[in-house]
């Protein structure tokens, strides 16, 4: 195969279809997998911030028992604090640029590493921010009277019994198991969701990495 001849023909081809921009700003945003993932995560971060504000505002817009409101706000504060700490970390992380001027193999390895790390931080952030959510929601709905229990006790008494865990061991076990079940669903759902959305990029790069070794 005469590569010299091919080279000449390649160089003889018209290059008008691909144009160099007159300034860098004309270039659209990066379409590399890592950048695409980071951009999606940035918009998810923005969504999470809006959700945090809405959750905080809810008890001030909907009438709620004072005790439930207090507990709900404490739970929301803890959730918001955890989420915001992760988001701050992720914002720094998402702005990190990947070096692409090393060897090809090092570049692919670095991209896989960055992608996996980004995904892990993302998953942990979502899971950590969601684990208190079932308790918050239960508190909220009990507080606004949407959950009716078949008992002559007042809502406040029920609430006090619940938060002081004043109940039979069987009921306590049911609540713990129920919570663990919901937590497992949150964990599994987040992992699956992240892998489905972003995992394909890791797989593609891993396939490329294997090609170096074959």
Residues that bind other proteins (CB under 8 A): 1-3, 5-7, 9-11, 13, 15, 17-18, 20-24, 27-28, 30-34, 97, 99-108, 111, 201, 204-205, 208, 211-212
Query: Minimum distance from CB of 198 to other proteins (Å)?
Result: 13
Of the pair 32, 176, the CB lying nearest other proteins is at 32
Query: Minimum distance from CB of 91 to other proteins (Å)?
Result: 19
Query: Minimum distance from CB of 196 to other proteins (Å)?
Result: 14
Query: Minimum distance from CB of 39 to other proteins (Å)?
Result: 14
Of the pair 111, 140, the CB lying nearest other proteins is at 111
Of the pair 156, 195, the CB lying nearest other proteins is at 195
Of the pair 21, 152, the CB lying nearest other proteins is at 21
CA-to-CA distance for 188 and 142, rounded, in angstroms? 27
């Amino acid at each position: 195969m005469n590569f010299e001849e091919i080279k000449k023909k390649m160089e003889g081809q018209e290059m008008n279809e691909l144009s160099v921009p007159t300034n860098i700003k004309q270039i659209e945003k990066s379409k590399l997998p890592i950048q695409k993932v980071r951009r999606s995560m940035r918009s998810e971060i923005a969504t999470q911030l809006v959700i945090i504000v809405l959750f905080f505002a809810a008890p001030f817009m909907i009438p709620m028992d004072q005790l439930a409101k207090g507990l709900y706000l404490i739970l929301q504060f803890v959730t918001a604090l955890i989420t915001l700490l992760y988001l701050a970390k992720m914002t720094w992380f998402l702005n990190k640029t990947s070096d692409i001027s090393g060897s090809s193999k090092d570049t692919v390895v670095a991209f896989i590493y960055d992608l996996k790390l980004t995904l892990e931080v993302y998953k942990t952030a979502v899971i950590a921010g969601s684990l208190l959510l079932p308790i918050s929601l239960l508190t909220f709905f009990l507080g606004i009277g949407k959950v009716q229990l078949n008992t002559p006790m007042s809502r406040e008494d029920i609430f006090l019994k619940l938060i002081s865990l004043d109940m039979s061991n069987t009921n306590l076990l049911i609540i713990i198991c129920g919570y663990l079940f919901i937590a497992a669903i949150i964990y599994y759902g987040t992992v699956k969701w992240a892998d489905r959305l972003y995992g394909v990029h890791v797989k593609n790069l891993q396939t490329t990495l294997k090609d170096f070794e074959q």
